[in-house]
Structure 1
Amino acid sequence: MSLIPGRISVVIPAYNQEEYICDALTSLTRQKLGKWELEVLVVDDASTDQTANLVLGYQHKLERLELVSLPTNSGVSAARNAGLEAVTGEFFTFLDPDDWYAPEHLATLASALEELHVDFVRTDHVRVTGTNRVLHRAPQAVRGLPLNPADDIEPIDSPSMVDYAFVWAGMYRTDLMRSVDAYFFDADLYSAEDRLWLWKLHLRTSRYAVVSYPGVFYRRGLPGSLTQVFDERQLGFIPAYARILEEVRAHQDADRHLPKAMRQFFAIVCHHEKRAKNYPPQVRLEMKQQLRKIFTTIDVHIAQQVALEMDIARRRHILSFLQVGVAK
């Protein structure tokens, strides 16, 4: 599919979002685009509410609004991929259906992409919890200059740009992402899919930038969000990190980046173990079994070194998994 210069494509995956989708779309009608042209691709992931009808009601307000309907509920990765299949813009980005943009958000990011001649840009965001709003800055102090994405994978023991796992807090050059095979999400992942996608960007591209424009507003703590459910969808982080570790091992600088990938994985393991008391017994058992399996394939020497740099409680927990791996 040929790309249209000067066009920005926004992909919105939506499942049962009748309460919020109008806020997202209204923010798009208010974009001050200047020379840029907007394409909006809403993917209805087999909603059972009025989401699709509400989207259709915006077709007279957004000239290039397309509703893509999936026949069965397939998850956020598959929904984003369906939108990405239809992208015709020179640049693309994502908007979750319960979030919204400030009026100059898209033009600001597109202009930065164009002027800095980079593969992608990342930006800050505003976290919204009820009526409370808090600015969250991307963990890179250097702003508005081209940077090497691989250089910003580290440091190991403090937040870096691969820890800033919000794919909607950025904009991407479509042809480049397709050429380096960093365009589509792994459709079978129901969580942590954004982490794998961003790791690929940092390993496979050569130039990016961070800009100081917190123009995306991110709602937290909603009842349907993954942080509020305790079923098998929580376990998506395990296959996601198996693939992240595989991706890093295949990289030319694997020795440099593998400790960071492991540290990130270990921290999320500990996070889920802490929450596991809220999971059904079968989900807890499945998590243990999957983790034991992945720890039998892990790089034990590097993993032990990484674990030794963690706090005592987390270190003890991770080392217990590693001992299982060594025993097998």
Structure 2
Amino acid sequence: MTNKLVTIILPVYNGEKYLKRAIDSVLNQTIGYDKLTLLVINDGGTDSSSQIISNYQKKYPELIHFIDRENKGVAKTRNEAIILTETEYLTFLDQDDYLDQEFVQKLYQEAKTSKVDVVVGGYRRPDEVGSVRKTVQPSDTEFGKFITMAAWSKLHRTKFLKENKIEFFDNSVGEDNVFTFKEIMSTQNILIINYIGYNWFYNTSSVSNTAQSSLNSENQEALERLLEKLFQVNDNSNSKINEYFIVRMIVFYLLFSGRNSTLSEFASAELKFNSIMKNYGSSYNILTYIPKGESFSIKMILKIFYILKKMSLLNFVMRFYCKGK
């Protein structure tokens, strides 16, 4: 294991359709796969993923560490993988996604040169025909660390994660949010680089299903758990930017899921989220604080939301916005 530099953690659950592409992108890394460990945990799926991984492991036993077990969920799977990681650095890869060839080498070189705990790169969203729907390059600004809350597209120092007990939150939404939020709170040594090397696959069927999310009782409860957890992690830090991120996240969940909700579901969720904010000494007033690095369009969305709430017009306007039945 002495020559291994980076572990790539790949959780799998019924991922047969695009799994080979993900693994091949690891094999093609310019750093050389002899410097890598690909830790694959098959989380109790029922398709041919296990056989696909086994075939690769037989061919590349020095690269692939394969665990096949009962379903525990993606958060517990990733947390287990962090514990098992022995290399100095680790990164995450989702089963539908893939890496540019120089991804690991680029981030590893930056981590070693700058001696940081986390290196953050950008990502793109290619679809089934190869068209790039979106690219995101976080800026090296005050709010840049909060732009990509996913754990992928980054390189993490393993010892730093373990010493600070940075884990994924076992919840149906926001697992990555808690992980990254605690990571940001635990170190100033985060480097944002001007490089895009992670491909977050734009799966139209998956995106369509996600778009159907609503603020039904089950989703509301999951969002309440997430909100409580983030405020607990924040632990009265008196950091404006931390509070801003949490309240910003609330607004975007309300708007995203509220679109497919009834007005009554939206109003119920907004009331509950507002109550949780107040319990932790927070309010929508933090939205008047705009950190450097926030985009103009998001500033405008938050400003409009804040004004509508302040003028008691939010639910009136939402009756035209909410399309749920």
Q: TM bucket by the smaller chain?
A: 0.7 to 0.9
AA aligned to 2:161 is: M
Name structure 2 gaps, 5 residues minimum. Answer: 290-301, 316-325
State the shift of 1:141 in Å.
4.1
Preserved CA contact (<8 Å) 2:27 2:33: no
Query: 1:29–1:321: structure 2 CA closer, same or farther, 3 Å change rule?
Result: farther
1:185 to 168, 172, 190: 168
Preserved CA contact (<8 Å) 2:38 2:64: yes
* 1:236-251 paired onto structure 2 within 5 Å: 236-251=222-237
1:56 maps to 54
Q: State the TM-score, normalizing by the size of structure 1.
A: 0.79
Query: 1:4–1:314: structure 2 CA closer, same or farther, 3 Å change rule?
Result: farther
Preserved CA contact (<8 Å) 2:247 2:286: yes
Residues in 2 aligned to 1:292 and 1:4: alpha-carbon distance in whole angstroms: 54
1:264 maps to 249
Preserved CA contact (<8 Å) 1:125 1:217: yes
Q: In the alignment, is residue 167 of structure 1 matched against residue 151 of structure 2?
A: yes
Deviation string, structure 1 residues 18-77 (Cα, Å, up to 9, x no partner): 1000000111111111597110111111111001110111111352312222313x3221
Residues in 1 aligned to 2:311 and 2:45: alpha-carbon distance in whole angstroms: 43
2:261 to 270, 276, 285: 276
Residues in 2 aligned to 1:80 and 1:211: alpha-carbon distance in whole angstroms: 25
Residues in 2 aligned to 1:201 and 1:64: alpha-carbon distance in whole angstroms: 28
Q: In the alignment, is residue 8 of structure 1 matched against residue 12 of structure 2?
A: no
AA aligned to 1:242 is: E
1:21 maps to 19
1:201 maps to 183
Residues in 2 aligned to 1:53 and 1:317: alpha-carbon distance in whole angstroms: 53
Residues in 1 aligned to 2:39 and 2:106: alpha-carbon distance in whole angstroms: 20
Preserved CA contact (<8 Å) 1:135 1:214: no
Deviation string, structure 1 residues 166-204 (Cα, Å, up to 9, x no partner): 21110100001111222x2122x1221111111111111
Residues in 2 aligned to 1:247 and 1:275: alpha-carbon distance in whole angstroms: 30
AA aligned to 2:195 is: Y
What is the Cα-based RMSD across aligned positions, in Å? 3.1
State the shift of 1:274 in Å.
1.7
SS at match of 2:56: coil
SS at match of 2:308: helix
Preserved CA contact (<8 Å) 1:307 1:319: no
Q: State the TM-score, normalizing by the size of structure 2.
A: 0.79
AA aligned to 2:187 is: T
Preserved CA contact (<8 Å) 1:124 1:136: yes
Preserved CA contact (<8 Å) 2:5 2:36: yes
Residues in 1 aligned to 2:204 and 2:219: alpha-carbon distance in whole angstroms: 16
* 1:1-328 paired onto structure 2 within 5 Å: 4=2, 6-33=4-31, 37-59=35-57, 60-61=59-60, 63-72=62-71, 74-131=72-129, 132-134=131-133, 136-141=135-140, 152=142, 154=143, 160-182=144-166, 184-187=167-170, 189-224=171-206, 227-228=210-211, 230=213, 234-235=219-220, 236-251=222-237, 253-255=238-240, 257-276=242-261, 292-299=271-278, 302-306=282-286, 310-312=302-304, 315-316=307-308
Please identify, of 297-306 and 25-34, the stretch whose mean Cα deviation from structure 2 is larger. Answer: 297-306
State the shift of 1:223 in Å.
2.6
Query: 1:105–1:259: structure 2 CA closer, same or farther, 3 Å change rule?
Result: closer
Name structure 1 gaps, 5 residues minimum. Answer: 143-151, 155-159, 324-328
Query: 1:250–1:206: structure 2 CA closer, same or farther, 3 Å change rule?
Result: same
State the shift of 1:289 in Å.
5.2
